[in-house]
Amino acid sequence: MSDRVVLAYSGGLDTSVAIGWIAEETGAEVVAVAVDVGQGGEDLETIRKRALACGAVDAVVADARDEFAEQYCLPAMRANALYMDRYPLVSALSRPLIVKHLVKAAKYHNATAVAHGCTGKGNDQVRFEVGIGALAPDLKVIAPVRDYAWTREKAIAWAERRDLPIDVNKKSPYSIDQNVWGRAVETGFLEDIWNAPIEDVYSYTADPAVPRDRDEVVVTFDKGVPVAIDGETVTPLQAIQELNRRAGAQGVGRLDMVEDRLVGIKSREIYEAPGAIALITAHQELESVTVERDLARFKRQVEQRWSELVYDGLWFSPLKDALDAFVDRTQEHVSGEIRMVLHGGRAVVTGRRSERSLYDFNLATYDEGDTFDQSLAKGFVQLWGLPSKIAAKRDQQHGA
């Protein structure tokens, strides 16, 4: 039996050409693996047939939308994960899931290598290869686009010479990656960071400047998991899809940012993540009501590091696992309801309630019913400021 290579297959030009190229260059049989993470477009059966028509000896297709929502998007939401405080890890979240399915297929088919279509400039090469190394360190990696200087022109010429069943003429001016958690757009005229994005860049969101009625939504959480929208029970996938629809219709979740890539360059990216931004906004607000102050302060540090680890391709790292355990512990009391208004490109919280709330009306009020003993505050303030007061006196004495 020939060696086998498992290829991360999207159904597009580069990975379709890669099937025949890998077989020709290495003599190995190619098994194509396509994973549905809610990216839309062609159905899995169409993609499977194309892979076989392009020369794959087998094509594995997986509907992983629920798995992606529950095991990847949900942990990101509970961690309030925003890389550089803005980016909700759209592409970064899907890569470890795809890696898991690639490794599973490689083991099943006794493959000796895994291949991907990433370039040498992006983050995805790291996410794929570091993930594969963590789960199956004996597997080799083949990266034709990066390691053999493929260009689109070379790929088109290859496809035409071999009469591959793919459309090589249509070319979007953008590079797009999308899944149920969001959509990422780059290249083309967007590479000039002075150029403003135009409306045809967007797909998940409507123009927030167009007048429309506002939309009020109530999201119910149980231990940090969204379990209902407007009283209707939902799965994590359904929660994301429903808020993609409703928040997207209000233009929520548009981001235009220059981000720091792992490889050391800065990249201009346009993101759309209506469901992700709405859910993170609601979750953050419920945490402000139910999570104790010092725990919340430390969690914000964890959230930043968690986001960096995932962005940098370290989903399967020991530190990421340890931080997951911490985040899980913080969610014990994050249950309740958040009311938001979706309108004009924003998700604005207007109400919150929880049986696990730490907000005590009688302590907070300045009106009748106030149970806070203000006489205790004087001594507290004096003791709290004592170290600073002592240091200030020393500095004055010694002319500091």
- Residue 271: name the closest of 237, 246, 248, 303 by CA: 248
- Residue 310: name the closest of 67, 35, 65, 95 by CA: 95
87 among annotated binding-site residues: yes
Average pLDDT over residues 13-20: 87
Q: What is the pLDDT of residues 88-135, one digit of tens each?
A: 999 999 999 999 999 999 999 999 999 998 888 889 999 999 999 999
366 among annotated binding-site residues: no
DSSP letters for 155-219 = HHHHHHHTT-SS--S---SSEEEEETTEEEEESGGGGSTTSPP-GGG-SSS--TTS----EEEEE
Q: What is the pLDDT of residue 272?
A: 98
Determine what percent of the chain is predicted with pLDDT higher than 90: 76
- pTM to 2 decimals? 0.94
330 among annotated binding-site residues: no
Cβ neighbourhood burial of 93 (10 Å; 0-12, 13-18, 19+): buried
Average pLDDT over residues 12-22: 87
Q: State the average pLDDT for the chain.
A: 93
3-state secondary structure at position 43: coil
Annotated catalytic, 63? no
CA dist 254 and 207 (Å) reads 10
Q: What is the pLDDT of residue 386?
A: 93
Count of Cβ atoms closer than 10 Å to residue 257 Cβ: 16
Among candidate residues 78, 91, 124, 312, the one labeled active-site is 124
Average pLDDT over residues 245-252: 98
Q: What is the pLDDT of residue 274?
A: 98
Cβ neighbourhood burial of 77 (10 Å; 0-12, 13-18, 19+): buried
Please, are residues 130 and 313 in contact by the beta-carbon 8 Å criterion? yes
Question: Can you give the residue ranges of every domain in the chain?
Answer: 4-171, 176-291+333-353, 361-395
Among 240-244, 263-267, 370-374, the range of highest mean pLDDT: 240-244
383's CB contacts (< 8 A; 6+ apart) are: none
CA distances, 125 to each of 64, 118, 120, 146, 343 (Å) = 21, 5, 7, 9, 38
| CA 381 to the chain's CA centroid | 43
Q: What is the pLDDT of residue 167?
A: 67
Q: What is the pLDDT of residue 171?
A: 64
Please, are residues 115 and 19 in contact by the beta-carbon 8 Å criterion? no
Count of Cβ atoms closer than 10 Å to residue 346 Cβ: 18
Domain 176-291+333-353 has CATH 3.90.1260.10: yes
Q: What is the pLDDT of residue 400?
A: 65
Q: What is the pLDDT of residues 144-197, one digit of tens each?
A: 888 877 777 777 787 777 777 776 665 667 888 999 999 999 888 999 999 999
Total residues belonging to the chain: 400
Side chain identity at 292, as an amino acid letter?
A: E
388's CB contacts (< 8 A; 6+ apart) are: none
Q: What is the pLDDT of residue 363?
A: 77
8 among annotated binding-site residues: yes
271 among annotated binding-site residues: yes
- Residue 26: name the closest of 151, 125, 146, 115 by CA: 115
Please, are residues 44 and 10 in contact by the beta-carbon 8 Å criterion? no
Instruction: List 183's β-bridge partners, or say none.
Output: 178, 272
User: According to DSSP H, which parts of the chain are helical?
Assistant: 13-26, 44-53, 65-68, 74-78, 90-108, 124-135, 144-147, 152-161, 236-248, 274-290, 293-311, 318-330, 361-364, 377-384, 386-397
Among candidate residues 4, 14, 48, 50, the one labeled active-site is 14
174 among annotated binding-site residues: no
Q: What is the pLDDT of residue 377?
A: 84
Q: What is the pLDDT of residues 275-315, one digit of tens each?
A: 999 999 999 999 999 999 999 999 999 999 999 999 999 99
29 among annotated binding-site residues: no
Q: b/e string for 32-51 if b means 16 or more Cβ within 10 A?
A: bbbbbbbbeeeebeebbebb
342's CB contacts (< 8 A; 6+ apart) are: 214, 215, 216, 217, 246, 247, 249, 250, 252, 278
Q: What is the pLDDT of residue 119?
A: 85
Annotated catalytic, 192? no
CATH among 2.70.70.10, 3.40.1280.10, 3.40.50.620, 3.40.50.150 for 4-171: 3.40.50.620
Ordered strands of the 4-8 beta sheet: 58-63, 29-36, 4-8, 113-115, 140-142
Fold adopted by 361-395: 1.20.5
- Residue 144: name the closest of 319, 310, 29, 26 by CA: 26
CA dist 55 and 53 (Å) reads 5
Among candidate residues 4, 48, 78, 95, the one labeled active-site is 95
Annotated catalytic, 175? yes
48 among annotated binding-site residues: no
371 among annotated binding-site residues: no
Annotated catalytic, 256? no
